Structure 1
Amino acid sequence: MASNPTPQRVIRVDDETWAAYGQLCEEKGIARSADLRMYIKREVAEWQRQRRDVNAAKNISGA
């Protein structure tokens, strides 16, 4: 078992895309899992920022 306590997740990706993604990540010098985690974290951070902005606008307008 890996020493990293992060739970494993299962995603469905066709073989051709997965192989190409592996090549892309290899050229970037990063593991697919690390690249996916960074992407997910960026998306979540942007979503949270947008929610804060919407909530701040509601508070300003008194809605």
Structure 2
Amino acid sequence: MRLLPGMVMLMLVLVISGSARATTDVMPFKDEAQEQQFRQLTEQLRCPKCQNNSIAD
């Protein structure tokens, strides 16, 4: 029974650290122009399932 609080705490730490890591940029842009091009493309491309939304949404 003493093991349960430790396991719960460990699970909370793993979940929190995983979500914090997911928010970092995986691949940075080389320059501002490349980032701008990416933003324009994501605004123009549409989701195949929900044609109403861009993939930037």
Structures share fold, TM-score greater than 0.5? no
Higher RCO (CA-CA < 8 Å; seq separation 6+):
2
* Higher Cα Rg, which structure: 2
TM-score normalized by the length of structure 1 = 0.39
TM-score normalized by the length of structure 2 = 0.43
